[in-house]
Amino acid sequence: MLLKSGTVLVTVAIGIAGAIALFWALNKLAELLPSKWEHRLKPYLLILPAYLAISLYLLYPTIVTVINSFKDRTSDQWVGFTNYADLFTDKAFQSTLFNTVLWVIIVPAVTIIVGLAVAALTDRLPSKSEKFVKTMIFVPMAISMVGAATVWRFVYAYQPAGETQTGLLNAVWTSGGAEPVPWLNTSTFRLNTLLLMVILLWAQVGYAMVLLSAAIKSVPAETLEAARVDGAEERQVFFSVILPQIKGTIIAVGVTVTIGVMKIFDIVYTNTNGQFNTNVLANDFINELTTNFNYGAASAIVVILMIAVIPIMIYQVRNFKEQEAAA
């Protein structure tokens, strides 16, 4: 153990020293060049390490993954669109896709609504209580999804009828005489998927709340005063004065949460591993990769996900360009 802690510290030191040395060398290298070339080349040398990392870990793999998605399970033979055709005709995968779409539709919307409500309501509290409420709601964000699954086990746990219920939800549910329900195994109306969503909401509503609260506080007080002087009720002030002014932040939060939800994995993996009709794309990908060793199918799933992400990517780039032009 001591050895390991030593190794950790040494690695951090070597890593940082190495990075400094690398840039020192790159800088020296640039200075060796004739001054005209030095100025031209130096920027490229300084961004080189970053782009090497990005190329190796994102660009190159993306290309390989697209290619692999048209090959068989061991990436040896070309199979055309077989992987995609197999996926889309598979009932289980259709259900997986449906679940992922449910996540993407429901979670961002509820995250924003609850986050907005908490942000707006806490704003009316004295500042100490405001801070307390916000911290309590924000803290789950620091917890891993595996940790969250451990925590929520004591809410969703199920014991057969007649035994003492150790899960809070069943304890409340059966207190009125009802039969206990195995919540996470019950896929009627996708109940279990909805309950898994609750865990994610628990974990990330704080994120939306913090950003939206900051936005609400930055709404100029004059605009609110003006509306109140004109006789607007608080409800109207919120919906027709504040809301339009924080639209940008709402969209930003929505986009971020949507991207996160499209890749949702840990919650499903640790709670049900996709059983009982709860599977989602990322979990299916991991199963194809680490259990079935079907690289073709795994790659095809990633490509489907990447295609789904493209509209968001275009939106982001356009948004960025607009902001740069405005700045």
Of 121, 134, 271, the C-alpha closest to 205 is: 134
Stretch that binds other proteins, among 22-30, 77-85, 102-110, 186-194 (CB under 8 A): 22-30
Per CB under 8 A, the list member of 262, 268, 280, 300 interacting with other proteins is 262
Which residue is it, tokens 């400094």? 20
Which of 79, 155, 181, 194 forms a contact with other proteins (CB under 8 A)?
Answer: 155
CA distance 128 to 74: 59
Dihedral pair phi/psi, residue 78, rounded to 5°? -75, 135
Give the range of 36-44, 87-95, 102-110, 186-194 binding other proteins by CB under 8 A: 36-44
Site for other proteins contains 182 (CB under 8 A): no
The Cα–Cα gap between 247 and 242 comes to 9
- Between 78 and 117, how does the x/- string for binding to other proteins read (CB under 8 A)? ----------------------------------------
Contact between 244 and other proteins per CB under 8 A: no
Q: What's the token pair of residue 260? A: 């996160």
Name 325's Cβ contacts closer than 8 Å, sequence gap at least 6.
none
Nearest approach, Cβ of 190 to other proteins (angstroms)? 21
Q: Closest CB to other proteins among 91 and 245?
A: 245
- Quick check: helix, strand or coil at residue 124? coil
Q: Rule CB under 8 A: which of 189-228 touch other proteins?
A: 202, 207, 210-211, 213-221, 224, 228
List the one residue from 182, 238, 243, 276 that touches other proteins (CB under 8 A).
238
Minimum distance, C-beta of residue 65 to other proteins, in the bound complex (Å): 5
Residue 100 CA to its chain's centroid (Å): 13
Q: Is 62 in the site for other proteins (CB under 8 A)?
A: yes
Size of the site for other proteins (CB under 8 A): 131
Buried b / exposed e across 10-38, counting CB within 10 Å, b at 16+? eeeeeeeeeeeeeeeebeeebeeeeeeee
Fill in the DSSP letter of residue 165.
Answer: P
Q: Which of 102, 106, 243, 309 binds other proteins (CB under 8 A)?
A: 309
